[in-house]
Structure formats: C-alpha cells, structure tokens
Amino acid sequence: MALDGVFREHWARVLATLVGILGDIELAEDAAQEAFAIAAERWPRDGEPDNPVGWLISTARNRAIDTFADDGLELDHYRYFHSARAELLRRAGRDDEARHAYRRALELAQTDAERRSLNDQLSQLSSG
C-alpha cells in the first residue's frame, strides 16, 4: 500500500496509539507527522516495511524520545517513558523486561490513580 493510502487508512490508529504511549496529544501529533515525513523520504528509496503501521508508531515513539533528550529532559525521571516502554515490551512478549519497566514507572508515579493503574497492569502481566 502506498504511503498516502497508509496515511488515509491508519492515521487515526497511529495517533491514538501514540497518545496512549506518550500521554500527550500534541506530542503524539508532532511525532506522528515526523514519522510520516521520514517514511515519505525513506520508503521510496528503501521499500515499504512489512508492517508499515508498526514502523510508523515505532519511528514516532523514537522521535518523541529524541525530542525529550534534545530538550534536556531526564528520561529516568520522566514517568510516562517507563510506562510506555513497559507497554511496548509487554506487546512484544518480553515479559521480564516489561515487569522491570512497570516497576520503574511505579517508583516514579505521582498519584494514587497512576499507582493503581500500573499495579493492575503489572499484576495482569504477572498472572498472564
């Protein structure tokens, strides 16, 4: 499928996934736009990846992390990073690494609601 078709068919899915990962719609929109721009440059040259949506999400997430670093944010103190990382690792079936990332996110959680949510996710992973 050509990039314009991927954009039309999957923009909402890419954006929604990134909002869930990054926790910020503006950051997610910026990252998604940048990922599509990178795809427009690379895909004609290198070919479309086997999983274009996954490629776009991964590229956008990586660009957002680069933005955090460029802005001087300490990733070890950025609570959403660990939660997002844990979710990505869980989806990839890397349970031990996901448990570690969830535990790190718990250490950084600032509210009881965040802690409850992270504990629920961790317990589902442990029992799953």
Q: Which residues of 88-124 are buried (b: 16+ CB within 10 A; e: fewer)?
A: bbbeeeeeeebbebbebbbebbeeeebeeebeebbee
In a shared domain, residues 64 and 112: no
In a shared domain, residues 12 and 66: yes
Q: Is the pTM of this model over 0.85?
A: no
Amino acid 68: pLDDT: 65
In a shared domain, residues 57 and 110: no
Q: Say how many domains are in the chain.
A: 2
Spatial separation of the C-alpha atoms in residues 42 and 53, rounded to whole Å: 15
The residues near 15 (Cβ < 8 Å, ≥ 6 apart) are: 28, 29, 32
Picking from 49, 70, 91, the residue at the C-terminal end of a domain is 70
Nearest CA-CA partner of 93 in 125, 58, 65 = 125
In a shared domain, residues 38 and 8: yes
In a shared domain, residues 66 and 27: yes
Range with lowest mean pLDDT among 39-48, 77-86, 95-104, 116-125? 77-86
Q: Per-residue pLDDT tens for 15-49?
A: 998 887 776 788 889 999 999 999 999 999 999 99
Query: What's the domain range around 123?
Result: 75-127
